[in-house]
């Protein structure tokens, strides 16, 4: 492992960059992107020859690449399609297809100044009409209702040439952050659809144009007319290799040049260790910005607070993290990792099985044989896991067995229920579980993305913790018009979760990448959504 | 000649009717089973959009409408059937692309793997089986017999893992996947062919021994018939019959083997497509796969029957 | 005529050992496993094999040996459950079909056929996908395609029971059908079912591993071998101790199962050795002179079954070798031609013309067969390849004999068919054997044997399966041919009376030796050896007074033959002390008629209807 560095410089840039007052005008130069990254694969070789083809393994298949739908690939989309604003290091908003933006004092309108001289890959110019056409294509549509932006944007207006105005239902500061997601806020050529408005071809403004794509292979070529920093390499070829170990073998054997991320081609902790020992390969660790945790279903037996508290005390998260993640993650104590905006201060969560036993005894759960009983009811928690093979960091089978064994020590019987993927997600949705592993999204979604999905909403799924008290605090944070209010609301929410032992944080895990010997100048992307190859060169 | 044409037409009509029946029954069964199974593509699609398992009823309903999943199960089946007979197999819920397009990408991958494996396994299996009986040296016969049996006794995926670790990671001899060109086919084809070689060699060996133990073989020997003629004329039909009887088993084995090698060696074929479709409850894709499998099975079994009838008059007359 | 049973038994036991080990490991896992297979010891994660953990530990610090043993238990329990369901379902379906016959049988057969063509693992995948995971569904998924072999066994058993006279008898005696079913058919099924079940274990273990690969196996944390292999995969190049033992365990159990399966499939098959393809040796011996077989001995696995037999046949003469089945009469004629099981050891001389068939190796025997010696084997129908037409068979025989120029084979074939008296030979050449009657098959066999215009024709029980009229016709045909062609005939028969009607000489064979030989008339009218006498007594005589009880020989003992004794002594009514300790040589009775008996009952006193 030549390079493995964590960035501890707590990237609260989003908060820092966000002005204390209502008006926020940001015009940051695009050149900022290079240089301020936390980790990289060593020195960029300036003399390296440019050109060449980068071969990247991909774990998932490619569906339709319509940026306003969700079948496409997470990595190809941001290479082809761009957004008005981009998510920079630590959550800083950077200009994209908009050079600047202005949020009105009441927070109800946002004005964008669009970038001039930008053309789609089919030479259609990017202008205010094209921009409006794109937004109209998804804003307010039912299938995008998960995204607050889709519901909050009331109207898209064109106040003048190269100008775009969004009218909002109510003030919502995370909106700009939502607009950095590629799907659905990515922009495509209005000519990329047929007469009926159906998507035909992936034509964007990004640094790469899609050359060819099937469900299992894709090739992209450099967009020489790109407005920003042009990539140095000529082509990128993606090929789908579903099996994690096969991807590792392919990288070691030099068949592909790059793996990594949580979605592109996840590397498991064990594989990262193996790859680290291989001198042909360079392993890169990003910020540990994703929290792995155990969630409870409050509608079942885990509604009993004593049980939740006992589970918290019964898990030795330091050792678990070491064994499950091969020493590459950190034991977690909070909902969000320190680098995530508004993550809050570390909590004290000691490993104390005796305390767990005492709590259960006090709550009336008598030890009987190996398990515990209260009023004739057995203390059994059902832990749902998907039965499919481990994906990257989440080896549910292994983690489940470790948790079951640890909880067994204090008399909590864990019944591991392995179901296939379709049933698993259905069961999570229907609340058919007592315990389940959950993960935060990491950048750029968190904290707003995760809290909206797991702490609020009138859906029937249990989420992580949905009570009126927390929902009120979360709403207070989401719609806060200043950073202090937001921070206060978030911290209060975290305090409630902590008081209620609402979940059990286990580890903060990094996104891990690995590159072959030819790849120079690659940096771990800021987000799972941003595959910036502008600094990469190949040396074969 | 006219009679021949009539017979041919009648036979084809019977085959077509049988195929239609088999396809109809299997598609109905598959449709019903998947529709009744827990898990639901509309929920999955809504969850995929939202990025988390919690989705509202509205979101699920919207996805259900888009996927054409409204109405009762019989209604949906009839609708599917109506489209299917017109050649429209629908759109995949998982990828949003037409299922036929996806099949067209994937079926050739599996066919080329299975085809190459069959081309390797058939002659090799028969040769190993014949040698395991005919070789004059007993240790060699035993060695071949054990090899054949061992080939059907190892878990395919384990063999695949070992091959990748040794041949790709350690020695760097062979690429892991189809991207490596023809060389990328070596390991998956070997893994697919291995159990088929084992099975065939044992079937050939046992049926050859049975054939040679037939009184008519001794009678032929007693007439002074040359060995080559005995093997070709007297033993081979019996052996060929036994081999044809295992065709179904071999095709089934190739299909299950494909599930393994397509994953491990990153050949994105129909076996892997099927597993993913099941995991997403992608009904349209599942139906298409089931049709493909049923077609492949019925076709190979019928072909085997027909050939068997050609070789052994008792089969066709009986 | 098969290889030794002892060696086979030994091999079977060796094959079964891994299976036995598997069952023991599974059953005793709770007793012998050193650790709890699911208890974590995170501090001991990925420990190398040591005295403390003989096979090391996995990522969660669990003892691999214990997991291996408990994995056997999991597979064993699952296999037992699958087999219990499969056997029950299979036996019920098979028994119902076999016992009831008619449409239930057709339905049962159809179900078996359809199920057998289904790809079992794909079916299992579908079942588990739809019904969800868990052990009960695993059992269901694997049993669903596992029952047909058992149904087949049961059906076979019940069909034969239903058709047996025994069943009729039991019913006549008033036994209820169901009692017969339970008391007579089911117990007999136990052994084959057990055998097949042991074969199925391998398949179940392998299937389970495959399902684990798809994430459909036994749910965690219970250990299972296939899952252990998958868990060990990331450690293949760093912790091999995780990956090898479960793989080897699966391989051993499945291989043992498969070996056992094959052992049973080939159990009763003789070992037939074909000659290596080679140019046919030329043999230009003089055709004059008799065919002499001297001091012929045949032994299997050290046990002599033919022990010093001599006989001779002159051209144009007919010799009948008679005896009970197992007396060695067939072996003594086929051994010189190299037509017996390849494991036999043959010694002695068999001289045809000037050539010793036993001295020149297989090449000489091959050169003689079909050309100078024709053979008509027992069971004419079985001796005709069912997938070839009569004409094709004959053409081949004619071609290989090389007696007519190429292209003229068919004409010669038709001639031969006419010669053996087959009606309408022109239309019969395109017939397949299964369309011919028994007598016609026999005629075709004789025609085939005559294709090479042999000097000697050996006919082994040519009439045994035929009705009396046809028997007489075939006998007449053989007698005709001998005279018209002038070849020597060796007739092998258990029917001494019939043999006497054709043969010039009769040799009586008992326990691998010739005990009496002489001119046919002499031997039949004045039998000397008590065994010959016994054979003749077994023949119903038209002159016998009605109500006469046929005298039959006492049953043959499966006797281990004493080296120096009269082999017939244990069954002989006249045996003396000497008969049990010394073997009698052939001694002349009259000129040309010899017999091997110490007692010489013909001389001492007549035997026969002596009012015993």
- Residue C293 φ then ψ, to 5°: -115, 125
pLDDT band at C287 (very low <50, low <70, confident <90, very high): low
CB contact under 8 A, B54 and A252: no
Is the confidence at residue C553, as pLDDT, over 70? no
Among the ranges given (A122-136, B30-44, C326-340, C551-565), the one the predictor scored with the smallest mean pLDDT: C551-565
Chain B residues closer than 8 Å to A429 by CB = 43, 47, 53-55
Tell me if chain C has a CB within 8 Å of the CB of A271. yes
**Chain C CA closest to residue B246:** C117
pLDDT band at C288 (very low <50, low <70, confident <90, very high): low
pLDDT band at B65 (very low <50, low <70, confident <90, very high): confident
- Dihedral angle, C-alpha B282, B285, B291, B297, nearest 10 °: -90
Closest CA to A399 of A501, A462, A321: A321
Test the A interface: residue of B37, B53, B283 with most A CBs within 10 Å: B53
Among the ranges given (B7-11, C163-167, C308-312), the one the predictor scored with the smallest mean pLDDT: C163-167
pLDDT, residue A114, reads 96
Higher-pLDDT residue of C126 and A65 is A65
pLDDT band at C275 (very low <50, low <70, confident <90, very high): low
pLDDT, residue A151, reads 87
pLDDT, residue C3, reads 44
Chain A residues closer than 8 Å to C133 by CB = 387, 417-420
User: C328-348, pLDDT tens digit by residue?
Assistant: 888 899 888 888 877 788 899
Whether A244 contacts A392, CB under 8 Å? yes
**Which regions of C274-371 does DSSP assign to beta strands (E)?**
291-300, 303-313, 318-322, 344-352, 355-356
pLDDT, residue C554, reads 58
Nearest chain A CA: its distance from C234 CA (Å): 7
pLDDT, residue C281, reads 55
Whether B50 contacts A453, CB under 8 Å? yes
**Chain A CA closest to residue B47:** A425
Tell me if chain B has a CB within 8 Å of the CB of C213. yes
Is the confidence at residue C106, as pLDDT, over 70? yes
Query: Of chain C residues 385-404, which have a CB less than 8 A from chain B?
Result: 385-388, 396-397, 400-401
pLDDT, residue C252, reads 92
DSSP-derived secondary structure letter, A390: P
- What average pLDDT is seen over chain A? 85
Q: Are residues A261 and A308 in the same domain?
A: no
Higher-pLDDT residue of A416 and B29 is A416
Tell me if chain A has a CB within 8 Å of the CB of C129. yes
Higher-pLDDT residue of C578 and A443 is C578
Tell me if chain B has a CB within 8 Å of the CB of C134. no
Whether C566 contacts C575, CB under 8 Å? yes
Nearest chain A CA: its distance from C142 CA (Å): 18
**Chain B CA closest to residue A439:** B52
Tell me if chain C has a CB within 8 Å of the CB of A383. no
- Domain membership of residue A22 (yes or no) is no
Rounded Cα–Cα distance for residues C182 and C196 (Å): 20
Q: Which of C59, C132, C133 sits opposite A398 (nearest CB)?
A: C59
The tokens for A528 are 């799972």
Q: Which of C59, C221, C238 sits opposite A404 (nearest CB)?
A: C221
pLDDT, residue C255, reads 92
DSSP-derived secondary structure letter, B164: I
Is the confidence at residue B119, as pLDDT, over 70? yes
Query: Which element (helix H / strand E) includes B212?
Result: helix B183-212
pLDDT, residue A17, reads 29
Pairing label, strands A85-87, A98-103? unpaired
Q: Are residues A220 and A312 in the same domain?
A: no
Tell me if chain B has a CB within 8 Å of the CB of C238. no
Rounded Cα–Cα distance for residues B128 and B141 (Å): 9
Number of separate domains in chain A: 3
Is the confidence at residue A270, as pLDDT, over 60? yes
Rounded Cα–Cα distance for residues B258 and B252 (Å): 10
pLDDT, residue C562, reads 54
CB atoms within 10 A of CB C610: 9
| Domain ranges for chain B | 2-84, 99-311
pLDDT, residue A253, reads 87
Q: Are residues A306 and A351 in the same domain?
A: yes
**Chain C CA closest to residue B34:** C130
Is the confidence at residue C150, as pLDDT, over 60? yes
Q: Which of A453, A458, A460 sits opposite B50 (nearest CB)?
A: A453
CATH number at residue A126: 3.40.190.10
pLDDT, residue C273, reads 67
pLDDT band at C563 (very low <50, low <70, confident <90, very high): low
Rounded Cα–Cα distance for residues A110 and A126 (Å): 19
Which residues have a Cβ under 8 Å from the Cβ of B197 and sit 6 or more positions away? Answer: B120, B121, B124, B125, B128, B148, B151
- Domain membership of residue A26 (yes or no) is no
- Could you tell me how far CA A147 lies from the centroid of its own chain? 14
Burial of A111 (0-12, 13-18, 19+ CB in 10 A): middle
pLDDT, residue A9, reads 29
Burial of B36 (0-12, 13-18, 19+ CB in 10 A): exposed
Q: How far is CA C103 from CA C5, C108, C109, in A?
A: 42, 8, 10
Chain C residues closer than 8 Å to B154 by CB = 247, 250-251, 254
User: C534-545, pLDDT tens digit by residue?
Assistant: 888 876 655 545
**Chain B CA closest to residue A449:** B51
pLDDT band at C276 (very low <50, low <70, confident <90, very high): low
Which residue among A167, A200, A233 closes a domain? A200
CATH number at residue A433: 3.10.105.10
**B88-99 average pLDDT score:** 88
Q: Are residues A48 and A121 in the same domain?
A: no
CB contact under 8 A, A429 and B47: yes
Which residue among A163, A178, A200 closes a domain? A200
Q: Which of C226, C254, C383 sits opposite B219 (nearest CB)?
A: C383
Rounded Cα–Cα distance for residues A386 and A368 (Å): 31
User: C409-447, pLDDT tens digit by residue?
Assistant: 899 999 889 888 888 888 888 888 888 888 888 889 988
Q: Which of C130, C277, C387 sits opposite B34 (nearest CB)?
A: C130
- What average pLDDT is seen over chain B? 85
Tell me if chain B has a CB within 8 Å of the CB of C98. no
pLDDT band at C612 (very low <50, low <70, confident <90, very high): very low
Q: Are residues A235 and A192 in the same domain?
A: no
Q: How far is CA C333 from CA C297, C321, C477, C487, in A?
A: 11, 9, 21, 16
Nearest chain C CA: its distance from A282 CA (Å): 18
**Cis omega (within 30 of 0) for bond into C221:** yes
**C151-168 average pLDDT score:** 81
pLDDT band at B114 (very low <50, low <70, confident <90, very high): very high
Among the ranges given (A87-91, A135-139, C35-39), the one the predictor scored with the smallest mean pLDDT: A87-91
Query: Of chain C residues 506-535, which have a CB less than 8 A from chain B?
Result: none
Decide: pTM greater than 0.90: no
Test the A interface: residue of C47, C137, C219 with most A CBs within 10 Å: C219
Output Rg (C-alpha) for chain C, integer angstroms.
32
Tell me if chain C has a CB within 8 Å of the CB of B233. yes
Q: Are residues A49 and A100 in the same domain?
A: no
Is the confidence at residue A536, as pLDDT, over 50? yes
Is the confidence at residue C82, as pLDDT, over 90? yes
Which residue among A172, A200, A228 closes a domain? A200
**C453-473 average pLDDT score:** 84
Closest CA to A294 of A279, A266, A315, A323: A315
Higher-pLDDT residue of C209 and C287 is C209
User: B214-232, pLDDT tens digit by residue?
Assistant: 888 888 888 888 888 888 8
pLDDT, residue A435, reads 94
Percentage of residues in chain A with pLDDT exceeding 70?
90
Whether A153 contacts A139, CB under 8 Å? yes
pLDDT, residue A118, reads 95
Q: Are residues A429 and A522 in the same domain?
A: no
DSSP-derived secondary structure letter, B179: G
Its domain, for residue A489, covers 288-510
Which residues have a Cβ under 8 Å from the Cβ of C578 and sit 6 or more positions away? Answer: C598
Rounded Cα–Cα distance for residues C167 and C394 (Å): 44
> Does residue A140 come out as left (phi exceeding 0), alpha (psi in the -120 to 50 range) or beta?
left
Closest CA to B102 of A211, A218, A215, A126: A215
Is the confidence at residue A48, as pLDDT, over 50? no
Whether A448 contacts A174, CB under 8 Å? yes
Query: Of chain A residues 216-255, which have a CB less than 8 A from chain B?
Result: 216, 239-243, 245-247, 249-250, 252-255
- Could you tell me how far CA A224 lies from the centroid of its own chain? 30
Q: Are residues A274 and A321 in the same domain?
A: no
Is the confidence at residue A5, as pLDDT, over 70? no
Chain A residues closer than 8 Å to C39 by CB = 405
Percentage of residues in chain A with pLDDT exceeding 90?
51
Query: Of chain A residues 11-30, which have a CB less than 8 A from chain B?
Result: none
DSSP-derived secondary structure letter, A319: H
3-state secondary structure of A236: strand
pLDDT, residue A379, reads 95
User: A345-367, pLDDT tens digit by residue?
Assistant: 898 899 999 999 999 999 999 99
Question: Which ipTM value was assigned to this complex?
Answer: 0.87
User: B237-275, pLDDT tens digit by residue?
Assistant: 778 888 888 887 888 888 889 989 998 898 889 988 988
User: B149-179, pLDDT tens digit by residue?
Assistant: 999 999 999 999 999 888 888 888 888 876 7
Query: Of chain B residues 168-227, which have a CB less than 8 A from chain A?
Result: 168-169, 172, 175-177, 179-180
pLDDT, residue C329, reads 87
Nearest chain B CA: its distance from A397 CA (Å): 17
Tell me if chain A has a CB within 8 Å of the CB of B301. no
Rounded Cα–Cα distance for residues C116 and C430 (Å): 35
Is the confidence at residue A12, as pLDDT, over 50? no
Nearest chain C CA: its distance from A270 CA (Å): 7
Rounded Cα–Cα distance for residues A10 and A289 (Å): 10
pLDDT, residue B183, reads 86
Test the A interface: residue of C215, C238, C243 with most A CBs within 10 Å: C215
Query: Of chain B residues 13-52, which have a CB less than 8 A from chain A?
Result: 37-41, 43-52
Is the confidence at residue B303, as pLDDT, over 70? yes
DSSP line for B251-273: HHHHHHHHHHHHHHTT---HHHH
pLDDT band at B299 (very low <50, low <70, confident <90, very high): confident
CB contact under 8 A, C61 and A323: yes
Looking at domain B99-311, does it have CATH number 1.10.3720.10? Answer: yes
User: A374-389, pLDDT tens digit by residue?
Assistant: 999 999 999 999 887 6
Tell me if chain B has a CB within 8 Å of the CB of C282. no
Chain B residues closer than 8 Å to C131 by CB = 37
Percentage of residues in chain C with pLDDT exceeding 90?
18
The tokens for A31 are 């050149």
Closest CA to C583 of C330, C350, C308: C308
**Chain C CA closest to residue B308:** C387
CB contact under 8 A, A420 and B263: no
pLDDT band at C610 (very low <50, low <70, confident <90, very high): very low
């Amino acid at each position: 492992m030549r390079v493995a560095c964590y960035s501890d410089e707590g990237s609260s840039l989003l908060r820092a960059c966000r002005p204390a007052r209502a008006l926020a005008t940001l015009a940051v130069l695009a050149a900022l992107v290079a240089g301020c990254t936390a980790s990289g694969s060593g020195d960029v070789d300036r003399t390296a020859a440019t050109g060449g083809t980068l071969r990247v393994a991909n774990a998932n298949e490619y569906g339709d690449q319509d940026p306003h739908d969700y079948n496409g690939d997470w990595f190809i989309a941001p290479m082809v399609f761009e957004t008005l604003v981009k998510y920079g290091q630590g959550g800083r908003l950077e200009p994209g297809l908009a050079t600047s933006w202005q949020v009105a004092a009441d927070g109800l309108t946002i004005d964008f100044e669009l970038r001039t001289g930008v053309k789609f890959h089919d030479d259609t110019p990017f202008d205010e009409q094209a921009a409006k056409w794109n937004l109209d294509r998804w804003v307010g549509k039912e299938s995008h209702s998960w995204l607050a932006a889709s519901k909050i944007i009331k109207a898209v207006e064109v106040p003048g040439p190269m100008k775009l105005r969004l009218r909002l239902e109510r003030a919502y500061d995370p909106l700009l952050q939502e607009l950095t997601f590629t799907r659905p806020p990515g922009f495509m050529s209005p000519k990329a659809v047929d007469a009926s408005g159906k998507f035909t071809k992936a034509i964007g403004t990004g640094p790469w144009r899609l050359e060819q794509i099937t469900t299992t292979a894709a090739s992209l070529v450099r967009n020489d007319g790109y407005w920003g920093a042009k990539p140095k390499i000529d082509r990128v070829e993606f090929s789908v290799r579903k099996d994690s170990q096969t991807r590792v073998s392919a990288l070691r054997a030099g068949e592909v040049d790059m793996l990594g991320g949580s979605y592109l081609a996840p590397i498991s902790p064990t594989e990262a260790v193996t790859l680290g020992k291989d001198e042909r390969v360079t392993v890169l660790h990003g910020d540990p910005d994703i929290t792995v945790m155990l969630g409870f279903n409050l509608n079942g037996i885990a509604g009993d607070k004593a049980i939740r508290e006992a589970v918290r005390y019964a898990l030795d998260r330091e050792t678990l993290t070491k064994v499950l993640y091969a020493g590459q993650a950190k034991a977690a104590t909070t909902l969000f990792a320190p680098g995530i905006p508004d993550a809050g201060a570390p909590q004290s969560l000691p490993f104390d099985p005796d305390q767990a036993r005492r709590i259960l005894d006090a709550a009336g759960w008598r030890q009987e044989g190996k398990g515990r009983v209260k009023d004739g009811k057995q203390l059994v928690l059902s832990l749902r896991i998907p039965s499919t093979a481990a994906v990257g960091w989440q080896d549910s089978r292994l983690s489940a067995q470790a948790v079951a064994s640890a909880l067994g020590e204090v008399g909590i019987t864990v019944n591991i229920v392995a179901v296939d993927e379709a049933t698993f997600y259905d069961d999570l949705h229907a609340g058919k579980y007592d315990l389940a592993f959950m993960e935060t999204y990491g950048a750029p979604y968190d904290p707003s993305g995760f809290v909206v999905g797991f702490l609020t909403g009138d859906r029937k799924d249990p989420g992580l913790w949905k009570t009126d008290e927390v929902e009120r605090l979360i709403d207070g944070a989401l719609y806060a018009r200043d950073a202090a209010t937001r921070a206060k609301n978030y911290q209060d929410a975290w305090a409630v979760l902590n008081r209620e032992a609402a979940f059990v944080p286990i580890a903060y895990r990094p996104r891990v990448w690995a590159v072959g010997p030819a790849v120079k100048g690659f940096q771990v992307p800021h987000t799972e959504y941003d595959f910036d190859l502008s600094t990469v060169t190949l040396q074969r | 000649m006219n009679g021949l044409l009539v017979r041919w037409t009648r036979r084809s009509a019977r085959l077509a009717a049988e195929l239609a029946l088999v396809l109809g029954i299997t598609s109905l069964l598959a449709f019903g089973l998947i529709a009744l199974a827990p898990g639901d593509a509309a929920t999955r699609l809504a969850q995929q959009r939202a990025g988390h398992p919690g989705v509202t009823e509205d979101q699920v309903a919207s996805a259900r409408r888009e996927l054409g999943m409204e109405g009762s199960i019989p209604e949906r089946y009839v609708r599917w059937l109506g489209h299917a007979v017109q050649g429209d197999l629908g759109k995949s819920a998982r990828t949003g692309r037409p299922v036929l397009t996806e099949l067209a990408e994937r079926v050739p991958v599996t066919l080329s793997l299975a085809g190459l494996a069959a081309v390797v396994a058939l002659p090799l299996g028969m040769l190993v089986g014949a040698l395991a009986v005919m070789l004059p040296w007993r240790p060699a016969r035993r060695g071949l017999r054990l090899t054949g049996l061992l080939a059907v006794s190892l878990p395919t995926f384990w063999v695949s893992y070992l091959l990748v670790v040794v041949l790709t990671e350690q020695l760097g001899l062979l690429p892991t996947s189809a991207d490596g060109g023809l060389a990328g086919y070596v390991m998956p084809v070997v893994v697919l062919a291995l159990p088929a070689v084992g099975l065939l060699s044992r079937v050939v060996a046992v049926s050859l021994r049975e054939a040679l133990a037939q009184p008519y073989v001794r009678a032929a020997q007693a007439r002074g018939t040359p060995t080559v003629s005995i093997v070709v004329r007297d033993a081979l039909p019996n052996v060929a019959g036994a081999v044809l009887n295992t065709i179904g088993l071999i095709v089934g084995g190739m299909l299950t083997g494909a599930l393994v090698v397509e994953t491990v060696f990153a050949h994105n074929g129909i076996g892997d497509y099927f597993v993913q479709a099941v995991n997403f409850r992608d009904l349209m894709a599942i139906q298409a796969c089931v049709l493909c499998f049923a077609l492949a099975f019925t076709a190979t079994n019928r072909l085997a029957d027909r050939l068997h009838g050609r070789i052994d008059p008792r089969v066709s007359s009986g | 005529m098969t290889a030794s049973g002892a060696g086979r038994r030994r091999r079977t036991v060796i094959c079964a050992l891994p299976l036995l080990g598997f069952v023991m490991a599974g059953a005793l896992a709770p007793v012998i496993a050193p650790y709890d297979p699911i208890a974590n010891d995170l501090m001991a994660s990925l420990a190398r094999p040591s005295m403390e953990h003989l096979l090391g530990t996995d990522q969660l610090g669990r003892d691999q040996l214990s997991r291996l043993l408990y994995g056997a238990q999991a597979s064993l329990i699952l296999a037992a459950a699958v087999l219990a369901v499969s056997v029950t379902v299979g036996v019920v379906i098979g028994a119902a079909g076999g016992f009831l016959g008619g449409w239930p049988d057709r339905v049962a057969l159809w179900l078996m056929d359809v199920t057998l063509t289904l790809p079992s693992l794909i079916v299992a995948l579908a079942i588990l996908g739809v019904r969800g995971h868990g052990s009960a569904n695993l059992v269901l998924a694997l049993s669903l395609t596992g029952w047909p072999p058992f149904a087949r066994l049961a059906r076979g058993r019940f069909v034969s029971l239903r058709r047996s006279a025994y069943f009729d008898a039991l019913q006549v005696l008033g036994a209820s059908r169901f009692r017969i079913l339970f008391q007579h058919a089911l117990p007999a099924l136990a052994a084959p079912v057990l055998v097949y079940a042991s074969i199925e274990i391998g398949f179940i273990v392998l299937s389970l591993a495959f399902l684990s690969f798809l994430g459909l196996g036994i749910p965690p944390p219970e250990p299972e071998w296939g899952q252990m292999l998958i868990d060990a995969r990331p450690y293949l190049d760093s912790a091999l101790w995780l990956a090898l033992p479960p793989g080897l365990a699966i391989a051993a159990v499945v291989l043992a199962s498969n070996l056992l399966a094959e052992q049973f499939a080939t159990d009763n098959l003789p070992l037939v050795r074909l000659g290596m393809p080679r140019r046919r040796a030329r043999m230009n011996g003089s055709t004059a002179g008799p065919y002499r077989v001297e001091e012929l001995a045949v032994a299997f696995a050290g046990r002599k079954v033919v022990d010093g037999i001599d006989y001779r046949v002159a051209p144009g003469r007919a010799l009948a070798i008679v005896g009970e089945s197992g007396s060695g009469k067939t072996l003594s004629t086929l051994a010189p031609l190299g037509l017996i099981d390849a494991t036999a050891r043959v010694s002695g001389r068999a001289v045809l013309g000037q050539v010793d068939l036993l001295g020149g190796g297989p090449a000489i025997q091959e050169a003689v067969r079909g050309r100078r010696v024709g053979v008509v084997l027992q069971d004419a129908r079985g001796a005709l390849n069912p997938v070839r037409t009569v004409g094709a068979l004959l053409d081949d025989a004619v071609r290989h004999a090389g007696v007519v120029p190429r292209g003229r084979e068919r004409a010669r074939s038709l001639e031969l068919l006419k010669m053996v008296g087959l009606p309408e030979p022109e239309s019969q050449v395109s017939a397949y054997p299964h369309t011919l009657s028994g007598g016609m098959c026999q005629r075709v066999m004789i025609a085939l044997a005559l294709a090479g215009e042999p000097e000697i024709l050996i006919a082994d029980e040519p009439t045994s399966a035929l009705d009396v009229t046809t028997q007489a016709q075939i006998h007449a045909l053989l007698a005709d041919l001998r005279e018209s062609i002038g070849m020597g005939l060796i007739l092998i028969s258990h029917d001494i009376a019939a043999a006497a009607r054709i043969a010039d000489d009769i040799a009586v064979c008992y326990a691998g030796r010739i005990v009496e030989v002489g001119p046919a008339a002499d031997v039949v009218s004045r039998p000397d050896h008590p065994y010959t006498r016994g054979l003749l007594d077994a023949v119903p005589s038209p002159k016998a007074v009605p109500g006469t009880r046929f005298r039959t020989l006492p049953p043959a003992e499966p006797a281990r033959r004493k080296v120096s004794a009269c082999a017939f002594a244990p069954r002989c009514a006249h045996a003396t002390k000497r008969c049990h300790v010394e073997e009698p040589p052939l001694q002349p009775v009259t000129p040309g008629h010899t017999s091997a008996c110490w007692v010489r009952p013909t001389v001492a006193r007549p035997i026969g209807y002596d009012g015993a």
